[in-house]
Chains A and B, each alone.
Chain A
Amino acid sequence: QKEVEQNSGPLSVPEGAIASLNCTYSDRVSQSFFWYRQYSGKSPELIMSIYSNGDKEDGRFTAQLNKASQYVSLLIRDSQPSDSATYLCAVNTGTASKLTFGTGTRLQVTL
């Protein structure tokens, strides 16, 4: 079992719809959770971080964390074609400092 799991996609949503991206992790001591966006041929760009259970909103993005279920999600409202990218979920256990990434979910926003 991989430490951080994501559906590789592609996830296709029409422009203006809500995109829902999901991530599960195996290490219960994980403390910090991140969503990075990566365009093809580019490096990961941080879009959201979340540390406690519940929702965190930033513009069109909402991160949701449920530590009991070991589940993190990212909602993108009013999806735009420019949101088309791979979204990487990353987890930091705190003790090790390193980030453990999922394989990423490719999102396609269609016109």
Chain B
Amino acid sequence: GAGVSQSPRYKVAKRGQDVALRCDPISGHVSLFWYQQALGQGPEFLTYFQNEAQLDKSGLPSDRFFAERPEGSVSTLKIQRTQQEDSAVYLCASSYSTDTQYFGPGTRLTVL
């Protein structure tokens, strides 16, 4: 069975470039979460969707970060004008309800 997939797996961006990270949740999962994981740290919550509605974006670190899930399935996390401090692994998780979350492989973003 297909799990959560993310693309690209690795992204290198020059400082100031815009990037878009994609997440395909497990089929039928209504809840979708984005987390940011810095090296040696646990994942930190960024934002949460239930179907197409973004119900919580309290973890987005700045207005350079934007997420969408227009049809309630695939989600895109966009980071504008990337900075070096944005370098991290971006993890997507999905859940049938809002409880047990299953993680994708992540996108490792390196900003030079």
Give A contacts to B, CB under 8 Å. 4, 32, 34, 36, 42-46, 49, 88, 90, 92, 96-104
Contacts and interface: CB of A to CB of B under 8 A. Distances in A.
Contact of B102 (A32, A46, A98): A46
Contacts of A88: 42-43
B59 A98 contact: yes
Nearest to B105: A43
B31 A99 contact: no
Given A43-B106, A44-B43, A104-B42, A98 B48 contact: yes
Contacts of B105: 42-43
Contacts of B41: 103-104
A105 to B, nearest CB: 10
Contacts of A98: 33, 45, 48, 56, 59
Contacts, number: 55
A46 B56 CA distance: 23
A40 to B, nearest CB: 11
B18 interface: no
Contacts of B101: 34, 46, 99
9 contacts: A34-B100, A43-B106, A44-B91, A97-B48, A99-B33, A99-B101, A100-B45, A101-B42, A101-B43
Contact of B43 (A46, A49, A96, A99): A99
A51 B72 CA distance: 28
Contacts of A43: 89, 91, 103-106
A88 B45 CA distance: 14
Nearest to A45: B103
A96 B102 CA distance: 17
Interface string B7-46: 0000000000000000000000001010100001111110
